[in-house]
Structure 1
């Protein structure tokens, strides 16, 4: 992973990103739900979602390819069809799929970069929403349509919508990487600024321990 300071919509205020409404919500089914999202290096997206209130767990991993090549060395070649993704487990009574997408498109990555995020290049870094049912697909399509109609970004959103056939957890050393390695150069250059932007623009959506001035 290369160092990169690219941040999506750095000058775009939170108000420009559609808040969840009837078109951007799923039925509030009881029990824990999940979303699988790809936004470049999973160290960065994981760090963002671990800070969100209502998120109960985040696991870095791979989706879009087969089980036999779902490992870091193979995925890094860019030839396995996988994307680096995170599996976000969340409590729908405290947050929603629509809200997770709002953070995804406004803070977690730049959805206008095709097959890359900053200096990280390859199809494994593609912007992607892996849906596990038609409701998730419908909501993601609606959100992307609203972003394009509102002209939030100067370039079009290139996020792919792909059916989730399987999620493969990444190797143990990738899990919670940013929190365990806060002074690693890539984390300082790419992950930390995204968490800081999250704190600045969505402070009301954070877990208390992440909204502390000392965090």
Structure 2
């Protein structure tokens, strides 16, 4: 487990049966520009704080066929938690989201990202976690994805959905490195861990309430996703 999360967990007292919400939700409008593709599968990599919660949300989203925690933005030699936690490897904790565009569009994936996954106005931090490894970033796998993501950020900014400027960066994905096995499916495996209960489970609950048509009650875990592919 992450050391800083151990320290945070030690300071959070959760009364029996009480789930706390770590962050305020901001609802953003749907994207004006979205995909025009008939492809059966696409991948985008999203960074928005600790990957436990990001992965947890997308594993509960219909049309997502795989959500894997990992590292993006640095090189292979430093693509491990011990190195990334130092904050100077260039990597961001991120999640590789593979989805079926005939079921869920990139625009919907991004609407959830900006609404319930994280706060895109926080620079190099999310909640209690700080450092460049917790930055807000979208790593795209096509020119169309980059165009949609950049247009959406401009749209949200113009709509003043947030009181502060969005700091999310958009860049082409060079490489994604899956995280260590113990980081995978963490929110599902450890729902009573105080950090998960306080910061991550509310995100999944917000997905179910705000995007009920896109919510999948039973998460698609990493092992299950591999078996189905």
The TM-score with structure 2 as length reference comes to 0.84
Residue equivalent to 2:106? 97
Cα deviation, 1:8-67, whole Å, max 9, x if unaligned, reads x52x4x4xx22244x2x1232322111100000000000100111101110000000000
Corresponding position: 1:55 with 2:64: yes
Distance 1:115 1:6 in 2: 18
Residue equivalent to 2:194? 185
Q: What SS does the corresponding residue of 2:102 show, helix, strand or coil?
A: coil
Cα deviation, 1:122-151, whole Å, max 9, x if unaligned, reads 000000001122111110011101110000
Distance 1:90 1:48 in 2: 13
Distance 1:152 1:20 in 2: 13
Find 2:143's aligned residue among 134, 138, 151: 134
Residue equivalent to 1:76? 85
Distance 1:207 1:199 in 2: 8
Distance 1:69 1:81 in 2: 9
Distance 1:208 1:197 in 2: 12
Following superposition, the deviation at residue 163 of structure 1 comes to 1.8
Distance 2:44 2:60 in 1: 15
Residue equivalent to 2:46? 37
Residue equivalent to 1:198? 207
Corresponding position: 1:162 with 2:164: no
Residue equivalent to 1:213? none
Listed as ranges, the gaps of 5+ residues in structure 2 are 10-20, 220-229
Distance 1:75 1:149 in 2: 34
Following superposition, the deviation at residue 196 of structure 1 comes to 1.0
Find 1:19's aligned residue among 27, 30, 39: 30
Size of the aligned set, in residue pairs, is 203
Find 1:121's aligned residue among 109, 130, 134: 130
Cα distance, 1:160–1:6 mapped onto 2, change above 3 Å: farther
The TM-score with structure 1 as length reference comes to 0.90
RMSD: 1.5
Q: What SS does the corresponding residue of 1:89 show, helix, strand or coil?
A: strand
